[in-house]
Amino acid sequence: MISRRAVTAASLALTVLALAPAALTQPAPLELRVMTFNIWYGGEQVNFASVAEVIRAAKADVVGIQEPDGNLYRLADAVGFAHVDPRRNLISRFPLFDSGLGRRTGSDPVPSSITALDASHLYAWVMVRPGEVVAIANTHLSSADYGPEAVRDGAPLAAVLELEQRVRVPQVEPFLALPEILKDIPLFLTGDLNTPSHRDWSSAVQPVRSEVIRYPIEWPVTRRLENSGWRDSFREAHTDPARRPGFTWTAGMPHPYVRARETIDRIDFVFASGAAETLRSEIVGEPGGDGVDISVAPYPSDHRGVVSSFRVIPAPAPPLVSVEPRTVARGADLLVRGFDPQSEGWRVTIVPADAALDKSLLRIVEDVGAWRRAARISSRQWLPGEYDAVLLDARDAELTRTRFVVRDAGAPVMLQALSGRVRAGEPVRVRWSNAPGHRHDWIGVFRAGAAAGDALSFTHVDARYSGEISLPTLVRGEPLSAGSYELRFMRDDSHTVEASAWFDIR
């Protein structure tokens, strides 16, 4: 479990930095449209072009994407958005900046909801106007042991709550501290939470939806978010869940179709806190869908989207630097963006990952920063590997840095077992390199010839370009039997194999 105190302490320093250069006059308010959208296994199940059309029809400004399956940049291009945060699966019409290094620096296990992120840097900055920002986080909680289906199948209340406490409550825990940490800053959380709202399963709603709500449930994930200062924007805009349930699962896919014994519910959310006033919230889905406000045909997903409009008062921006794209093919161009709140211009140096400033490989100085926020450079001169873009102040001291990768796009992902034979019950040590850097890239252990979904054990690789990890050779605590096994490097939470290797258990 991640210490909430540790998250708070680490982030408070950044917040103080963000607020230090505040302008003498308060920024003017603006309207911002924030969307959450599970695009269904890469958006390719029906029509990828329709996924982009859904986002355009919603007139979204920034979107939290779930299940991109390696298609995040492709989707942003199709929508016409220039800005992508692959660590949080965000796309935006406004520039995005990481609140941290852009790569996880810790080594302790973390829940899948924050894979590839440090617990102290769960959000990105969105620069909605020059020098003015809002903050946003995005997540996707596990669908394992889905609570409404347990209710459908006759589980008692205590058993359902036990499922939530075991599966989803630990995954939402890291996000609970954010409203307190960024209390004066417009802050959003988008996500497919795979749980209903406690507001939708009340005793008042139960008689209206008795076919699904067999008894009222205080669903703990949304209750804990609300108790921590998050506000459910859809339920703020539509206060009566009996009259306006706002169902997002399941959608038309693309024609009206619901599987036998399906449990229909609202499990996709846009939460807000801080200086963000909810103006309206709309459901995006298939034509004729129950409660759909904005429709697109053919509708491309099994989830409806939610887009909420907010009146926000942006916050003064802290020192910021970004590199787009985060992973670049060697020889291709990239854009470096900088913002120094203490200077009209900005300056950046490029160094190898974690290197000191005296290891500079390239220096960028832009003295017209008020109207030029980006500098185009080529990656041709650098070998494949990890690098940092470091924002410097006027005295060449480091303000902040962000990580990016130069990748040999013509070479395959490399994967190997460091020992070709391990004893039963012992972990297998694995090394990889030239990885694509998607947030949910993972390595699994499979029996020889096993189906793509039959991993015996797996570990996310924290979006790293290269590294080493140990994978368990246990299933439910029992050692795997002797024999040959396959390691597979899989792309972005999908079943697409990027590389494979073999090892034996004796």
Reported as a pLDDT band with limits 50, 70 and 90, residue 72 is: very high
Domains 31-313 and 320-407 share a fold: no
Give the DSSP letter of residue 8.
H
Query: How much is the average pLDDT of 473-479?
Result: 89
Q: Is the pLDDT of residue 372 over 80?
A: no
Q: What is the pLDDT of residues 384-422, one digit of tens each?
A: 999 999 999 999 999 999 999 999 988 999 999 998 999
Q: How confident is the model at residue 2 (pLDDT cuts 50, 70, 90)?
A: very low
Question: Does the N-terminal peptide bond of residue 254 adopt cis geometry, omega within 30 degrees of 0?
Answer: yes
Model confidence at 14: pLDDT above 70: no
Whether 228 and 177 have beta carbons less than 8 Å apart is answered as yes
CATH of 31-313, one of 3.90.480.20, 3.60.10.10, 3.40.50.720, 3.10.105.10: 3.60.10.10
Half-sphere exposure (Cβ direction) of 3: Cα atoms closer than 13 Å: 7
Q: 118 and 91 in contact (C-beta within 8 Å)?
A: no
State the architecture of 414-505 in CATH terms: Sandwich (2.60)
Distance CA 295, CA 266 (A): 17
Q: Which two tokens stand for residue 231?
A: 């506000």
Q: Tokens for 97?
A: 């900046």
Q: Does residue 164 register a pLDDT over 60? A: yes
Strand-strand pairing, 428-433 and 467-471: antiparallel
How does DSSP assign 257-278, residue by residue?
Answer: ---TT---B--EEEEEESSEEE
Q: Do 258 and 304 form a contact (C-beta atoms < 8 A)?
A: no
Closest CA to 387 of 103, 106, 87: 103
How far is Cα 94 from Cα 104, in angstroms, rounded to an integer? 24
Domain boundaries, the chain: 31-313, 320-407, 414-505
Judge contact between 440 and 460, C-beta under 8 A: yes
Question: Across 3-146, where does the E strand assignment appear?
Answer: 30-38, 62-66, 83-85, 90-92, 96-98, 124-129, 132-140
Single-letter code of the amino acid located at 301: S
- What are the tokens at 178? 């954010």
Number of neighbours of residue 122 by Cβ within 10 angstroms:
26
Q: How far apart are CA 246 and CA 249, in angstroms?
A: 9
Residue with tokens 């045909």: 297
Query: Residue 482's pLDDT is what?
Result: 93
φ/ψ (deg, to 5) at 275: -80, 60
Q: Is the preceding peptide bond at 473 cis, omega within 30 degrees of 0?
A: no
**Per-residue pLDDT tens over the stretch 208-220:** 999 999 999 999 9
Chain-wide mean pLDDT for the chain? Answer: 92
Residue with tokens 């024609």: 255
- Which three-class secondary structure string do you get for 274-337? CCEEEEEEEEEECCCCCCCCEECCCCCCCECEEEEEEEECCEECCCEEEEECCEEECCCEEEEE
What homologous superfamily does CATH list for 320-407?
Answer: Immunoglobulins (2.60.40.10)
* pLDDT mean over 320-340: 96
Instruction: Give 422's strand partners.
Output: 505
**φ and ψ at 77, to 5 degrees?**
-60, -40
Task: Answer yes or no: pTM beyond 0.75.
Answer: yes
What proportion of the chain, given as a percentage, has pLDDT over 90?
Answer: 85
Confidence at 22, pLDDT banded by 50, 70, 90 = very low
